[in-house]
């Protein structure tokens, strides 16, 4: 397909998949269960980090996790007693275990004791004219593991461009928080990061479809691959390139493109 045909095709797929009926079967359903901004951030972040494997399993494990926080994660994190943490000792999803869970809680308790929005952990590493979120992701990783008792094993769950990772889960989380198109899927509750600075989440399905459409040429899938994909998507929409995540993901997982 030529440029115009590809753009028309992708725009049609964005319209098809960027709809509220996309929500129930996707991990984004987890933060959609909350209305308080801090709860949406915490639930969204955790759902994105745990988003590997079957979607129904991810959703069930997240529901289990937040039920243990009385479905009020921000309040629980700030006000829990030490004895309340025992309920997480058996929590596990894939390689994410109780050690990781307890450190996440410790980080959030420290962070929300100082700030009102998780957005600050990203924007403190950025300048307004930065072309993308790369420096913000690196700063977030460093701040996240800034507590003195940060477990080494937990670092595998929080990616960073400094390790050349494609950072697919964090980029998905940022899409959820930043994009605001009134379609009802993404939240758009952050306004210090521009949609133009977002990087497309490069998961297995997006990667495969991107290659078929000629949007990715790199052999491996890493941070440079995510940058290449996003740069090509900017040709179709320079302000909101990551909206095409809906098209690529939908084509891959729903249509087997």
Domain around 206? 3-253
Q: pLDDT-derived band of residue 174, with 50, 70 and 90 as boundaries?
A: very high
Other CB atoms within a 10 A radius of the CB of residue 7 amount to: 15
Pinpoint the alpha helices (H) of 98-161.
98-112, 119-123, 134-144
Mean pLDDT of 130-153: 97
Domain count, the chain: 1
DSSP codes of every residue in 152-219: GGGGGGS--GGGT---HHHHHHHHHHH---SSSSS-----SS-GGG------HHHHHHHHHTTS---S
Q: What percent of the chain has pLDDT over 70?
A: 100
Q: Which of 26, 137, 138, 36 is nearest to 77 (CA)?
A: 36
d(CA 105, CA 218): 37
**93: phi then psi, degrees, rounded to nearest 5:** -140, 115
**Which pLDDT score, from 0 to 100, does residue 253 have?**
87
């Amino acid at each position: 397909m030529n440029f115009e045909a590809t753009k028309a095709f992708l725009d049609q797929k964005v319209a098809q998949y960027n709809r509220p009926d996309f929500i129930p079967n996707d991990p984004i359903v987890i933060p959609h269960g909350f209305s308080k901004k801090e709860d949406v951030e915490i639930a969204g972040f955790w759902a994105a980090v745990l988003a590997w494997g079957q979607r129904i399993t991810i959703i069930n494990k997240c529901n289990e996790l937040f039920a243990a926080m009385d479905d009020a994660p921000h309040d629980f994190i700030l006000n829990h007693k030490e004895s309340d943490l025992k309920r997480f000792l058996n929590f596990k999803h894939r390689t994410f275990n109780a050690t990781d869970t307890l450190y996440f809680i410790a980080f959030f308790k420290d962070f929300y004791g100082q700030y009102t929005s998780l957005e600050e952990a990203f924007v403190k590493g950025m300048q307004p004219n930065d072309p993308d979120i790369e420096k913000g992701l690196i700063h977030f990783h460093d701040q996240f593991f800034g507590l003195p008792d940060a477990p080494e094993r937990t670092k595998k769950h929080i990616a960073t461009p400094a390790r050349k990772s494609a950072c697919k889960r964090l980029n998905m989380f940022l899409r959820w928080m930043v994009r605001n198109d009134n379609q009802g899927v993404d939240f758009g509750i952050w306004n210090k990061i521009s949609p133009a600075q977002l990087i497309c989440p490069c998961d297995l399905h997006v990667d495969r479809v991107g290659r078929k459409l000629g949007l990715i040429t790199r052999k491996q899938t890493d941070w440079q691959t995510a940058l290449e994909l996003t740069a090509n998507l900017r040709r179709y929409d320079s302000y909101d390139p990551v909206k095409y995540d809906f098209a690529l993901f939908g084509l891959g997982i729903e249509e087997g493109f």
